[in-house]
Amino acid sequence: GAGVSQSPSNKVTEKGKDVELRCDPISGHTALYWYRQSLGQGLEFLIYFQGNSAPDKSGLPSDRFSAERTGGSVSTLTIQRTQQEDSAVYLCASSPGPGQGSYEQYFGPGTRLTVT
Amino acid sequence: GEDVEQSLFLSVREGDSSVINCTYTDSSSTYLYWYKQEPGAGLQLLTYIFSNMDMKQDQRLTVLLNKKDKHLSLRIADTQTGDSAIYFCAEPGTYKYIFGTGTRLKVLA
């Protein structure tokens, strides 16, 4: 079946521009996560959605970052006025949700963002 | 605090065993996970262990869990060049996974 998909796979943008990253989770998965992976770094948690609500936004690095999820499905991560330090791979993951077994997260291939 | 620690690099020769170590923080974690990330790809679940187990074996993979010391290890027997990747251990936190920094495994032919 279809896994988690993300688009675009690569994005190059100029400093100061806004970007929007998209994540399509596995159908039926209620939980959705965004992580950031900078070069040579581990995974940095950004935000978690349960359905359309985000009980944990603690990982968003600044107010230039925002995310939304509509219809309990697709999510977009928006970065306004991009800075060079925003360059990273942005990973999305989904899981069936709380109380649904082993809590395995299924990851998308990521969007590589380069800010020039 | 929430912190999962791993060594950053491991280099082994093809055919040898690899052991990747991890220390975690939350003794109440019900599951602990190992994920693999191949170059240019997302993370893929490799294996997981339930917290009431000490060991889990799955083909070439052996996971050992020491709850007293909060230590988790992944052993890969007969390591192959295709095993070259970054390996992350993870524990479930509130609303999210807490990932280690990842161990980059390099397999030398």
Task: Please tell me which of the candidates A43, A59, A103 has its beta carbon nearest to residue B88.
Answer: A43
| B96 contacts in chain A (CB < 8 Å) | 33, 45, 48, 56, 59
The answer on pLDDT for B27 being more than 90 is no
**Tell me, what's the pLDDT at A40?**
67
Q: Given its phi and psi angles, is residue B46 left (phi above 0), alpha (psi -120 to 50 degrees) or beta?
A: alpha
Contact of A5 with chain B, judged by CB distance below 8 Å, is answered with no
The answer on pLDDT for A84 being more than 90 is yes
The answer on pLDDT for B89 being more than 80 is yes
A5-53: per-residue pLDDT in tens?
999 999 999 999 999 999 999 998 999 999 999 876 778 889 999 889 9
Q: Please, are residues A75 and A49 in contact by the beta-carbon 8 Å criterion? A: yes
**Tell me, what's the pLDDT at A14?**
97
**Tell me, what's the pLDDT at B42?**
83
**Tell me, what's the pLDDT at A98?**
66
3-state helix, strand, coil in chain A (%, to 5): 5, 50, 50
Q: For residue A29, give the 3-state DSSP assignment.
A: coil
Average pLDDT over residues B11-29: 91
| A48 contacts in chain B (CB < 8 Å) | 95-96
Average pLDDT over residues A46-74: 91
State the number of CA atoms in the 13 A half-sphere of A87 facing the CB.
11
Residues of A (15-34) whose Cβ lies below 8 Å from B: 33
**Tell me, what's the pLDDT at A102?**
54
Q: Please, are residues B63 and B9 in contact by the beta-carbon 8 Å criterion? A: no
Residue-wise burial string across A71-97, b where 16 or more C-beta atoms lie within 10 A, e elsewhere = ebbebebebeebeeebbbbbbbbbbbe
Average pLDDT over residues B19-23: 96
Average pLDDT over residues B31-57: 90
pLDDT band at B97 (very low <50, low <70, confident <90, very high): confident
- The whole-chain average pLDDT of chain A stands at 90
Q: Is B88's CB within 8 Å of A108's CB? A: no
